[in-house]
C-alpha cells in the first residue's frame, strides 16, 4: 500500500514511517522541511505526486503552553491544516488517519474516557486539536481520528528525556501528582496506526497505553527502571503556574472491540529505555 506520512520528522512520525516500511508498504515521508501543512497548494502537490492510498497525519503544533499565547498559530496547524489535508485525501480517494489528543476532554470525569464521551477542551491547544477533528469529520474523506495520550519516543524532547537529564543534575525533583493519563510509547502507537490503515478502521478511536498514572508516578518509574537515584516529591499543577490548564484525569480507553490495544505504559517505558541504550530494569522487577 502507498502511505503518505506527514510530520514524519517528529517522534511519532519517524516511528510511523519505520513501522509502515517494516510492514512492506511504500512510504512517502514528509517532514516540516519538505511539506508545510498550512500551505494548501503544497499539500495538493504532494498528494498528487505520491498518489497515496492512505495518509497518516502526525503533523501538529505541540507546544501546549505556547498555544495559550498564540492560539491562531496552533489552530492553523492543528485545525485548518488538518481540514485541508483531509479534503486532499478525499479528492485522492485515500484514507486519512489523523492523530489527536486526550486534551480534547476537560478531565473532570471520574471514569475513563471512551470515544463517544462529549469533548470540552480546557486549553487553546485542546481547542485547536478539536477543531482539527471537526474539520476532518466534515471533509468527506474516509477517516480515522486517533486520540492518544502523553507521547514519548526517540528523536526529540519528551518527559522521559527531561526527567533523565534533571536526575543527572539533582537529587530530588518535584513532579505533579494531580494529573493522570496514559504515557504512550510511539514505538507501540506507530504499528497500531499502521494496523488501522491496513484493516482499515474508521471513526474516532482511542489508542493509548494500557494502564494509567500521574506524572509523579511516571517520573518515579523512569528513575526506577533507569536505575537512577533521584527522589520524587509530590507537587500540584497550581504550583507550576503554567499558562495552559491541563485535564486532571484524561485516561483513554476504547469502546470498540476492533481498536488496536497497546501494552502497559511501563512496558512502553522499558522498550524506550532499551532502544536509547539506557540500562533498564524490567517493569515488574524489584530494585
Query: What is the total residue count of the chain?
Result: 287
Q: How far apart are CA 133 and CA 287, in angstroms?
A: 43
Position 222 in a domain: no
> 234 in helix, strand or coil?
strand
Residue of 155 and 220 predicted with greater confidence: 220
Residue 34 has pLDDT above 90, yes or no: no
Rounded CA separation 8/16 (Å): 8
In the predicted model, what is the mean pLDDT of residues 235-264?
Answer: 96
Q: Which of 102-111, 154-163, 196-205 bottoms out in mean pLDDT, i.e. has the lowest?
A: 154-163
Of residues 202, 231, 234, 219, the one with CA closest to residue 269? 219
Position 89 in a domain: yes
Looking at residues 215-241, what average pLDDT do you find? Answer: 94
Please report whether residue 20 resides in a domain. yes
Other C-beta atoms lying within 10 Å of the C-beta of residue 203: 12
Does pLDDT of 281 surpass 90?
A: no
Alpha-carbon distance 99 to 65, whole Å?
A: 19
- The whole-chain average pLDDT of the chain stands at 94
Does residue 170 belong to any structural domain of this protein?
no
Residue in the block written with cell 514519548: 152
The whole-angstrom separation of Cα 219 and Cα 190 is 23
Residue 174 lies in a domain: no
- Per residue in 116-143, pLDDT (tens digit) is 999 999 999 999 999 999 999 999 999 9
Examine residue 78 and state whether it is found in any structural domain, yes or no.
Answer: yes
Instruction: Please count the structural domains in the chain.
Output: 1
State the pTM of this model.
Answer: 0.94
**DSSP code of residue 122:** -
Q: What is the CATH number of the domain that holds 80?
A: 3.40.50.720
Domain extent at residue 120: 2-158+182-212+250-263
280 domain residue, yes or no: no
Average pLDDT over residues 80-89: 96
Check 61, 113, 125, 272 and give the catalytic one.
Answer: 125
In the numeric block, which cell numbers belong to residue 15? Answer: 516511528
Active site residue 61: no
Q: Are strands 213-214 and 180-181 parallel, antiparallel or unpaired?
A: antiparallel
CA distances from 152 to 35, 187, 205 (A): 23, 9, 19
Mean per-residue pLDDT, 254-271 = 98
155 band by pLDDT with thresholds 50, 70 and 90: confident
Question: Would residue 64 count as lying in a domain?
Answer: yes
Amino acid at each position: 500500500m502507498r502511505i503518505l506520512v506527514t510530520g514524519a520528522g517528529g517522534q511519532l512520525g519517524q516511528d510511523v514511517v519505520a513501522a509502515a516500511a517494516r510492514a512492506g508498504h511504500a512510504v512517502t515521508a514528509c517532514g516540516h522541511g519538505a511539506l508545510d501543512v498550512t500551505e494548501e497548494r503544497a499539500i495538493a502537490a504532494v498528494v498528487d505526486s505520491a498518489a497515496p492510498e492512505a495518509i497518516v497525519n502526525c503533523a501538529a503544533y505541540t507546544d501546549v503552553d505556547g498555544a495559550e499565547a498564540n492560539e491562531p498559530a496552533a489552530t492553523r496547524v492543528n485545525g485548518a491544516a488538518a481540514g485541508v489535508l483531509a479534503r486532499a485525501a478525499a479528492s485522492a480517494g485515500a484514507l486519512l488517519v489523523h492523530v489527536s489528543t486526550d486534551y480534547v476532554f476537560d478531565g473532570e470525569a471520574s471514569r475513563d474516557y471512551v470515544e463517544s464521551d462529549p469533548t470540552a477542551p480546557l486549553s487553546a491547544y485542546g481547542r485547536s486539536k478539536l477543531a482539527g477533528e471537526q474539520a476532518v469529520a466534515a471533509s468527506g474523506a474516509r477517516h480515522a481520528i486517533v486520540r492518544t495520550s502523553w507521547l514519548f519516543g526517540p528523536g526529540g524532547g519528551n518527559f522521559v528525556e527531561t526527567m533523565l537529564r534533571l536526575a543527572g543534575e539533582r537529587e530530588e525533583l518535584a513532579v505533579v501528582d494531580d494529573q493522570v493519563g496514559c504515557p504512550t510509547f510511539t514505538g507501540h502507537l506507530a504499528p497500531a496506526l499502521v494496523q488501522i490503515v491496513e484493516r482499515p478502521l474508521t471513526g474516532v478511536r482511542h489508542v493509548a497505553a494500557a494502564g494509567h498514572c500521574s506524572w509523579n508516578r511516571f517520573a518515579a518509574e523512569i528513575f526506577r527502571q533507569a536505575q537512577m537515584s533521584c527522589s520524587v516529591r509530590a507537587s500540584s499543577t497550581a504550583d507550576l503556574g503554567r499558562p495552559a490548564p491541563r485535564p486532571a484525569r484524561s485516561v483513554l480507553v476504547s469502546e470498540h472491540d476492533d481498536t488496536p490495544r497497546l501494552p502497559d505504559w511501563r512496558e512502553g517505558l522499558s522498550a524506550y529505555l532499551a532502544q536509547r541504550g539506557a540500562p533498564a530494569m524490567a517493569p515488574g522487577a524489584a530494585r
